[in-house]
Amino acid sequence: MDDQLLTIQELIDSATSSLKTARNMLSEFTGIADPSKLKHAAQASIQSSASVSDGKVIEGIFDGQNMIDPEGETYPVPANYASKSKLVEGDGMKLTITDEGKFVYKQINPVDRRLVVGALIHEDAQYKVLSEGKSYRVLLASVTFYRAEVGDQVTIILPKEEDAVWGAVENVIPKHVAEAEAKEQIARGVDGELTPDIDKE
């Protein structure tokens, strides 16, 4: 048994080392050091069908805050647009640069989505939603638009198939509303029958 465990550990160490070496080689080849950015750039490369010759249309992948093109270049997406459009990390996008230099973004290939609910927290100078044992970053523009506060219950949209760092805010349930609903459920009990009011002395 001990020999088998030792062999398994050696295999894991070897695989981890090989993976690290492969990532370093890929980083040197592409010039992109950030693994997350590299993932989005690879996705953008697969998706991209725009002609590069005119230099006016660029396709890429939304990373939760910016658009990443196949070369790993970052294009800032206006936070208000991303928030109102409820863009999700992994969505395919197209950027058109007009003759006047205006940037016009359009969502062209949305990923499959799922909804989760969690509590809004403020951590490391960043608003996040804590759900499923993980914290997801959300845009400040979304928090401001919904007038959300720390402790509120927030429904966010995540990519269905991929791990995500960012979530798009779908809606917000204020903390006092969520607490009132929870108290009502407790008062009714599991079987739906009313129990003594827990707030009364």
Q: Is residue 155 over pLDDT 80?
A: yes
pLDDT score at 53: 39
Q: How far apart are CA 145 and CA 86, in angstroms?
A: 12
> How many beta carbons lie within 10 A of that of residue 128, not counting itself?
22
Q: Is residue 52 over pLDDT 90?
A: no
User: Which token pair is 136?
Assistant: 């997801």
Average pLDDT of 18-43?
61
pTM over 0.85: no
User: Which token pair is 30?
Assistant: 């592409």
Q: Is residue 176 over pLDDT 90?
A: no
CATH topology of domain 113-179: OB fold (Dihydrolipoamide Acetyltransferase, E2P) (2.40.50)
Ranges of CATH 2.40.50.140 domains, the chain? 113-179
Q: What is the DSSP letter of 88?
A: -
Q: Is residue 161 over pLDDT 80?
A: yes
> How many beta carbons lie within 10 A of that of residue 200, not counting itself?
5
pLDDT (tens digit per residue) in 76-130 = 999 999 999 999 999 999 999 888 888 999 999 999 999 999 999 999 999 999 9
